[in-house]
Amino acid sequence: MTEIRFPLPDVGEGLTEAEIVQWRVAPGDRIALDQVFVEIETAKSLVELPSAYEGVVSELLVEEGNTVDVGTPILVIQTDAASGMNTATTPPAATPATQAASDAASMVADTVASIAPDEGGAVLVGHGSSGPANSRRRRHPSPGGAHEHLAAPAPAPAPAPAPVVAPTASAPRPAGSAVAAPDTARRAAPERVDDGMPVIAKPPIRKLAKDLGVDLSRVTPTGPIGDVTRDDVIREASQASVFRNIQTPEVPSDRETRIPVKGVRKAIAQTMVQSAYSAPHVSVFVDVDATRTMEFVKRLKASPDFAGVKVSPLLIMAKAMIWAVRRNPSVNAQWTDDEIIIKHYVNLGVAAATPRGLIVPNVKEAQAMSMVELATALEQLTLTARDGKTQPAEMQAGTITITNIGVFGMDTGTPILNTDEVAIVALGTIKQKPWVVDGEVRPRYVTTIGASFDHRVVDGDVASRFLADVAAIIEEPALLLE
- Cα 470 from Cα 286, distance rounded (Å): 10
- Cα 165 from Cα 190, distance rounded (Å): 22
Least confident of 67-81, 245-259, 308-322, 418-432: 245-259
The yes-or-no answer on residue 455 being catalytic is yes
pLDDT in tens, 68-77: 888 889 989 9
Least confident of 197-201, 305-309, 324-328: 197-201
Query: Quick one: CA torsion of 395, 401, 404, 405, rounded to 10 degrees?
Result: 100
Taking all residues of the chain, what is their mean pLDDT, rounded to a whole number?
Answer: 76
Better pLDDT: 93 or 62: 62
Domains and CATH numbers, the chain: 1-114 (2.40.50.100), 115-159+181-242 (no CATH), 264-481 (3.30.559.10)
- Cα 24 from Cα 164, distance rounded (Å): 12
Mean pLDDT of 270-293: 90
Can you tell me whether residue 7 is helix, strand or coil?
A: strand
Candidates 127, 140, 281, 455; catalytic one: 455
Nearest C-alpha neighbor of 448 from the set 457, 435, 460: 435
pLDDT for res 2: 85
pLDDT over 90 at 109, yes or no: no
Can you tell me whether residue 210 is helix, strand or coil?
A: helix
pLDDT over 80 at 90, yes or no: no
Can you tell me whether residue 212 is helix, strand or coil?
A: helix
